[in-house]
């Protein structure tokens, strides 16, 4: 070890401490014997000596410094502390090194304060040993103080990270679309169980209504087949479910002449209860779908307009966040969801996939087979623009997405018939910006009008002369005249 004085910065949950290393012996991860000897405080206390300790004054200050250390930044508190500690060494021209366990923080200390900094395996091991004996090395610390402060600071740091997570709105979309996919599978399976169970009583219904959800609703409506035609409002309700009065009448006729077996009352009660649960799940799914649509319209209106809500949500979920999707190039967005096929094609040197999740878009399904690859590439390009507008704009309106959707429609028509050439990107975006400016002006006028009306109301409430001029005084005069008469 050199003749320089070796100091070690220790970031404790209760404050910052600087220790001077007295022993010149270095310790590494392979020095097992030396590490074991340093587990004993009596041996380690002869190796380091506390130079200075700056405790945190509040929990908020501790959290702020914790965030700075995690991001590799030097806070004002740490800067003032280190400047004060090494002021004498700099004034006398003494040579020293400050050991910092985190490389990024060490670079920040070196660049900001011009302190000689070292970060090595020896510093990491010494910091670990200091952390082990922190309660005894730090002043005014009792056994367990560091552990309790560490637990509280960890909880505060975690809460802060969750609270200020920039992707918290995206997480709601990711969870919602995942739940929708699970519910689709679950409702289909549960609906099939309703068909199998209720089919013993009314087997002809499965042929007329093959879909699980309408089947469950009809089973809930009819219940026992006896007297289905005489039940009040059954025909109207069946017509509303099926959308066809003739088909509803056929279901009632088959219910009266069914070959199914009779079931007891307790069995029918359980069948109806199960069908009710399936129907409630379906109703909840509709509410969840509406919630997802409203959420997407709020944070990704342009991408939803171009691709549709379901595909937009799946792209955000697959990429992890709107930010990741906005940073992705159009070529990546084009094949998101087809990674296995892509790597298999690259491995076997075959044809790479032309589309992934965007294959379900109506633009690709409407395109002819030779044009599917072209329109998917064009659609991915416009989707990338829409995603970037949604991500990096404060309050993105739908005008950009509507303009991009019209451009894709023109491109699809041109690929199919080759007659009218689509507009250029420059012209389309110029029109979208003009529409956006009109929308902003309209909003500003509306806000100004609202403020003006609120100001007039406040002025009228304060001034009796204005109240009289608006007619309130005349009403009072009329009342006094009537009372005099």
**478 — pLDDT class (breaks 50, 70, 90):** very low
Which of residues 226 and 370 earns the better pLDDT score?
Answer: 370
**457 — pLDDT class (breaks 50, 70, 90):** low
265-279 tens-digit pLDDT: 899 899 999 999 998
Report domain extents, the chain: 5-163, 171-292, 300-423
Taking the domain 300-423, which CATH number applies? 1.10.246.90
DSSP secondary structure letters along 334-350? HTTT-HHHHHHHHHHT-
**pLDDT score, position 248:** 86
**pLDDT score, position 229:** 53
227: left (phi over 0), alpha (psi -120 to 50) or beta: left
**pLDDT score, position 31:** 67
Q: Please, are residues 260 and 200 in contact by the beta-carbon 8 Å criterion?
A: yes
**476 — pLDDT class (breaks 50, 70, 90):** very low
Which of residues 88 and 426 earns the better pLDDT score?
Answer: 426
**479 — pLDDT class (breaks 50, 70, 90):** very low
**461 — pLDDT class (breaks 50, 70, 90):** low
**38 — pLDDT class (breaks 50, 70, 90):** confident
Helix 59-71 vs helix 145-163: crossing angle, to nearest 10 = 70
**pLDDT score, position 481:** 42
Strand order in the sheet with 5-12: 48-55, 15-21, 5-12, 96-99, 117-118
89-120 tens-digit pLDDT: 777 777 888 889 888 888 888 888 888 888 88
373-395 tens-digit pLDDT: 999 999 999 999 999 999 888 88
**pLDDT score, position 77:** 92
**pLDDT score, position 402:** 92
Asked whether the predicted pLDDT for residue 430 surpasses 50, the reply is: yes
**pLDDT score, position 207:** 87
Range 443-454 average pLDDT: 83
Asked whether the predicted pLDDT for residue 445 surpasses 80, the reply is: yes
Range 388-412 average pLDDT: 90
d(CA 430, CA 383): 18
- Listed in sequence order, the residues at least 6 apart from 295 whose beta carbon sits closer than 8 Å to its beta carbon are 169, 172, 173, 176
d(CA 351, CA 354): 9
**16 — pLDDT class (breaks 50, 70, 90):** very high
78: number of Cβ within 10 Å: 22
Mean pLDDT in the chain? Answer: 84
Which of 203-207, 404-408, 417-421 is most confident? Answer: 404-408
**463 — pLDDT class (breaks 50, 70, 90):** low
Which of residues 400 and 115 earns the better pLDDT score?
Answer: 400
Q: Is the pTM of this model over 0.75?
A: no
Lowest mean pLDDT, pick from 108-112, 208-212, 442-446, 459-463: 459-463
Place of tokens 């001034």: 463
67-86 tens-digit pLDDT: 888 888 889 999 999 988 88
336: left (phi over 0), alpha (psi -120 to 50) or beta: beta
Q: 338-342 contacts: CB < 8 A, separation 24 or more?
A: none
Which of residues 466 and 40 earns the better pLDDT score?
Answer: 40
Question: Would you state the structure tokens that stand for residue 35, as one six-digit string?
Answer: 């590490």
Asked whether the predicted pLDDT for residue 483 surpasses 80, the reply is: no
Asked whether the predicted pLDDT for residue 480 surpasses 60, the reply is: no
d(CA 46, CA 66): 29
Q: Do domains 5-163 and 300-423 have the same CATH topology?
A: no
**458 — pLDDT class (breaks 50, 70, 90):** low
CATH class of 171-292: mainly alpha
What b/e readout covers 208-221, taking b as 16+ CB neighbours within 10 angstroms?
Answer: bbeebbbbbbbbbb
3-state secondary structure of 91: helix
Asked whether the predicted pLDDT for residue 220 surpasses 60, the reply is: yes
310-348 tens-digit pLDDT: 999 999 999 988 889 999 999 999 999 998 999 999 998
**pLDDT score, position 270:** 93
144-182 tens-digit pLDDT: 888 999 899 988 888 877 665 556 678 889 999 999 999
Taking the domain 5-163, which CATH number applies? 3.30.420.220
**14 — pLDDT class (breaks 50, 70, 90):** very high
Range 40-52 average pLDDT: 87
Which of residues 248 and 473 earns the better pLDDT score?
Answer: 248
Question: Would you state the structure tokens that stand for residue 472, as one six-digit string?
Answer: 């309130």
């Amino acid at each position: 070890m050199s003749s320089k004085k070796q100091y070690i910065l220790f970031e404790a949950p209760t404050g910052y401490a600087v220790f001077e290393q007295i022993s010149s012996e270095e310790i590494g991860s392979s020095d097992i014997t030396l590490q074991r000897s340093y587990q004993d405080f009596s041996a380690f206390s002869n190796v380091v000596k506390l130079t200075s300790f700056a405790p945190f004054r509040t929990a908020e200050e501790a959290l702020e410094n914790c965030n700075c250390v995690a991001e590799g930044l030097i806070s004002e508190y740490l800067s003032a502390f280190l400047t004060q500690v090494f002021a004498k060494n700099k004034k006398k021209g003494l040579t020293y090194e400050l050991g910092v366990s985190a490389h990024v923080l060490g670079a920040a200390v070196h660049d900001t304060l011009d302190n000689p900094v070292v970060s090595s395996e020896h510093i990491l091991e010494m910091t670990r040993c200091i952390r082990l004996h922190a309660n005894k090395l730090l002043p005014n610390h009792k056994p367990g103080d560091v552990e309790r402060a560490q637990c509280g600071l960890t909880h505060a740091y975690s809460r802060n990270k969750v609270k200020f997570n920039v992707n918290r709105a995206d997480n709601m979309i990711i969870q919602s679309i995942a739940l929708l996919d699970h519910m689709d599978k679950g409702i289909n399976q549960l609906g099939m169980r309703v068909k199998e169970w209720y089919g013993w009583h009314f087997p002809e219904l499965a042929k007329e209504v093959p879909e699980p959800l309408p089947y469950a609703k009809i089973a809930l409506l009819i219940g026992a087949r006896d007297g289905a035609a005489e039940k009040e409002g059954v025909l109207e309700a069946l017509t509303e479910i099926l959308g066809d009065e003739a088909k509803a009448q056929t279901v009632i006729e088959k219910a009266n002449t069914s070959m199914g077996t009779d079931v007891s009352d307790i069995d029918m009660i359980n069948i109806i209860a199960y069908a009710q649960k399936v129907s409630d799940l379906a109703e909840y799914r509709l509410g969840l779908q509406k919630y997802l649509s409203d959420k997407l319209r709020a944070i990704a209106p342009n991408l939803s307009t171009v691709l549709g809500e379901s595909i937009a949500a799946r792209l955000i979920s697959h990429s992890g966040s709107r930010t990741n999707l906005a940073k992705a190039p159009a070529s990546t967005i084009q094949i998101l969801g087809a990674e296995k096929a892509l790597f298999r094609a690259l491995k076997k040197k075959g044809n790479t996939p032309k589309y992934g999740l965007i294959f379900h878009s109506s633009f690709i399904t409407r395109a002819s087979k030779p044009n599917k690859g072209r329109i998917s590439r064009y659609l991915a390009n416009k989707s990338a623009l829409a995603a970037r507008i949604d991500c990096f704009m404060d309050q993105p309106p739908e005008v950009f997405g509507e303009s991009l959707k019209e451009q894709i429609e023109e491109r699809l028509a041109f690929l199919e018939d080759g007659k009218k050439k689509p507009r250029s990107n420059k012209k389309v975006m110029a029109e979208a910006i003009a529409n956006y400016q009109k929308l902003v002006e309209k909003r500003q006028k509306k806000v100004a009008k609202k403020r003006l009306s609120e100001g007039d109301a406040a002025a009228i409430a304060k001034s009796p002369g204005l109240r009289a001029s608006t007619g309130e005084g005349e009403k009072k005069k009329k009342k006094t005249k009537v009372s005099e008469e």
